[in-house]
Amino acid sequence: MTNDDLTWLLDRLGPLGHITARRMFGSRGLYCDGVFFAIYADGQFYLKADDVNRDDFTRLGLTPLTFQAPSGRIQVLPYYPLPDEAADDDTALWRWCRGAIAAGLRCGRTTPGKRGRRRTAAPGPA
């Protein structure tokens, strides 16, 4: 992952709201207006999923992000790769990201200092 790749991605996501990236375990956690909605790791962009939007990813045959913990156990995270259709189409990218932001809102994950701020709808262009 290069800073140029991350900068390019953050620029594309800008219309959704205030996008920030924070280091986490060798990758970056992405936040939209303080809502944790994505992970950028090893050049791959993963979006937050929950019971509401998970089927959108699995219908496309996408599998969740996994990694091997120091204990040797395989960990499965509720983050799925960005579908191919959204790689070069900003409208599709924003639609998928809005779903991930909504999932982030439902689970209540925000950046420190923003906890307690509740939103009712995911921000971004229509």
Hey, what domains does the chain have and what are their CATH numbers? 3-107 (3.30.1460.30)
Which residues have C-beta within 8 Å of that of residue 87, sequence separation ≥ 6?
Answer: 93
Distance, in Å, from the CA atom of 64 to the CA atom of 121, rounded to the nearest integer, reads: 24
User: pLDDT by residue (tens digit) across 15-73?
Assistant: 999 999 998 888 899 999 999 999 998 888 999 999 999 999 999 999 999 988 889 99
Is residue 74 scored above 90 in pLDDT? yes
Query: 122's torsion region: left (phi>0), alpha (psi -120 to 50) or beta?
Result: beta
Q: How far is CA 126 from CA 9, 51, 90, in A?
A: 19, 23, 12
Task: Note the pLDDT of residue 26.
Answer: 81
Distance, in Å, from the CA atom of 30 to the CA atom of 36, rounded to the nearest integer, reads: 6
